[in-house]
Chains A and B, each alone.
Chain A
Amino acid sequence: MNLKPNESNFKKSKNRDGADQIKILLVDDLKDNLLALEGLLRRDDIEIFKAKSGTEALEFMISHEFALSLIDVKMPSMSGFELAELMRGTKKTKNIPIIFVTATAKDQSFLFKGYESGAVDFLLKPLNTHMVKSKVSIFIELYRKKKEQEELLSRFKKIQGELEEAVQIRDEFMSLASHELKTPLTSLKLQSQLRMRGLRKGDVSAFSLEWLTKMFDADEKQIERITHLIDDMLDISRISSGKLSMKLERFDLCELVRDLIERSRDQFVAAGCPVEIECCQSAVGIWDRLRIEQVLMNLLTNAMRYGPDKLIVVQVNVTPARAQIIIRDQGRGIAEGNHERIFQKFERATEGSEIIGLGLGLFIVKKILDAHHGSIRVESTLGQGATFVVDLPISERNEDLHHGL
C-alpha cells in the first residue's frame, strides 16, 4: 500500500545539476500564447507551469511556490486583474510578483491597491523577446536574493540561539566553578588564620610535630582539590572548543593498569579498599596514555569514594579488535534511572555532604573515550555496587584517531 504522493516530483524539482529550480507561472487562456512564452523563457534553472484560467492558476499557487507569474490581462470568466485581486487575499499568493501581459498601453494605469509585494510590471503585446527575457531575469534574480536572505537569516537565528545557550552554560559553569574553588580557598585561609593567631599568642606548644603534620596534610588536600578543579575546568574548556588534543602512542593497557594501581597504593590503603587485578596477558594498542590513565584514575577514585572499605576489582580483557577494562566496586551503587545521567555535565549520582567537585569527572571520562572511538557504560543496582565497563578499539594506525574530537 503506497498512498504517499510523489512529493519530490510535485513540490520540488531539481535541474540536472541538482540545484532547486525556480518556478514561474504563465496564465493565458490561449494555448498557443502559453507555448510561445514557454519557448521564450525556457532555461535550465526554471520550471514553467502553464494555467489556462485564473482558477487553474490559483490551484497551482496553492501547492507551489512561484518566483513570478506572467498573467494575460484579457481572459474570459476571470480577467488577469481579477485574478490579481484574488491573489491579494491569501498570504501564500499575495507576495508573488506579477507581470501583466496586455495589448493596450492604458492597462498600465490600473491601480493595485494593497498589492503588498509591490512587484507589478507590464509587458506589451506584441512581445519583444529581449524585453520579456530581461524582465523575467530581473524578477528571478530578486527572488534568488530574497531566498538567500531568508536562508541567511534563519542560519543567523540558529547560531544566535546556540550562542545564547553557550553563554548561559558558561555562566552557570563559572558560577559553579568559582563556588567550588572558593570552598577550599576558604578552608586554607581559615587554617592559616588559625596558625597566625596561635603564633601571635606565642602558644608554641600548640605547634607539636604531630599537629603540624596533620595541618600540612590538610593543606595539601585542599591544594590538591583546587588543582583538580582547575584541571577539570581546563579539560571542559578544551572539550567544548574541540581542542582536546591527543598524544597517541603504543602501550600495554595491562601494564598501565598494574602500574597505576601500584602507584596509587597509598590512596587505596587510606580508603580501606583492597584491590584485585585480573588482567589478560597483554592488551597492546595505540591510545593516549595520560588520558587513559586519567579515565582509570577517575573511575578508581569514584570506586573508593562511593565504596570505602570495600573490595575493588579491576579486570582487563582483550579481543583482536577491542580491549575492555572493567572496574567493579561494592559501594552504594547507582539507581537505573541515573545510568545515563551520570555521564552528563555537572551531574553526580548522589547528594552526599562528603562529595565534592564539579560533577565533571564522568563527563570528561566519556569525552576522552569518545575521542578514542571507545565507550563507557555502567551496570549497577542501587545499594549493590557499580561496574563500569570501558571499551576501547585496538587501533593499529594513529591517523584513525587524530580526528577524534
Chain B
Amino acid sequence: MAFKTILIVEDDQSIRSGLKLLFEGEGYPVLVAKHGQEALDILEKSSSHKLGLILLDFMMPVMDGAAFLLELQRNHPKILDSIPIFIITAGNDAHQVTIKTTGILKKPFDMDELFRIVIKYCGG
C-alpha cells in the first residue's frame, strides 16, 4: 500500500528540509511550503486525495498558520474537513486558533509522537 503524502508548511529552512529528509527516508512522499500562501497554491494545484497530513507551522511570514486556516475555512472547507492538520509550534500561540485542527505538536518534536501521527494518517 502506497503511503500518503505529507505537506510541511514551515518557514525555517533547516526544519523544513530536516523533516523532509526524515520522512522521505521512511518512504513518505513529501511536499513543502515556506508559508501559508505557498501551501494554498500547492493545495489548489495538486489533487488532495493523496494528501494524508498537513504539518502547519504557526509563526510564518507572508501568511501565517492562523491566516492559512481561515483561508481554508473560507475557500476550501472540504480540505479542512478531510485532511488532518497538526499545528507545529515553538510557542504557546496555537491555542488562540478558533478553527479546530486535529492537534498540536510542540517544537522541539518528540520523534516517537511525530512518527505515530505520520503512521496513523499516512500509513506505514
Contacts and interface: CB of A to CB of B under 8 A. Distances in A.
Interface of A: 175, 178-191, 193-194, 197-198, 218, 221-222, 351-354, 356
Contact of B61 (A188, A193, A353): A353
A187 B22 contact: no
A178, A193, A197 — most chain B CB neighbours (10 Å): A193
Contacts of A222: 14
A194 B18 contact: yes
Contacts of A182: 90, 107-108
Contacts of A188: 108
A208 to B, nearest CB: 15
Given A178-B90, A194-B22, A186 B109 contact: yes
A351 to B, nearest CB: 4
B2 interface: no
A180 B107 CA distance: 11
Contacts of A218: 14
B22 A190 contact: yes
B60 A353 contact: yes
A306 to B, nearest CB: 15
Contacts of A352: 61
Contacts, number: 69
Interface string B40-62: 00000000000000000001111
Nearest to B114: A193
A187 B18 contact: yes
Interface in B30-45: 34-35
Interface of B: 11-15, 18-19, 21-22, 25-26, 34-35, 59-62, 89-93, 107-109, 111
Contacts of A185: 107-108
B90 A190 contact: no
Contacts of B61: 351-353
A9 B111 CA distance: 77
Contacts of B108: 182, 185-186, 188-189
B118 to A, nearest CB: 13
Given A351-B62, A353-B61, A353-B62, A184 B14 contact: yes
Contact of A183 (B12, B22, B26, B93): B12
A191 B11 contact: no
A175 B93 CA distance: 9
A182 B88 CA distance: 12
Given A190-B18, A197-B25, 13 more contacts: A175-B92, A179-B59, A182-B108, A186-B15, A186-B90, A186-B107, A187-B18, A189-B111, A194-B21, A194-B25, A218-B14, A352-B61, A353-B13
Contacts of B90: 178-183, 186
Return the 10 tightest CB-CB contacts between A and B, nearest first: A190-B18, A182-B90, A187-B14, A186-B107, A186-B108, A189-B108, A179-B90, A351-B61, A179-B91, A353-B11
Nearest to B59: A179
A180 to B, nearest CB: 8
Contacts of B13: 353-354
27 contacts: A179-B90, A179-B91, A182-B107, A182-B108, A183-B90, A183-B107, A184-B14, A185-B107, A186-B90, A186-B107, A187-B12, A187-B14, A188-B108, A189-B108, A189-B109, A189-B111, A190-B18, A193-B22, A194-B21, A197-B22, A218-B14, A221-B14, A351-B61, A351-B62, A353-B35, A353-B62, A354-B13
Contact of A190 (B11, B60, B109): B109
A193 B111 contact: yes
Contacts of A193: 22, 111
B15 A183 contact: yes
A161 to B, nearest CB: 26
A183, A190, A193, most chain B CB atoms within 10 A:
A190
Contacts of A183: 12, 15, 90, 107
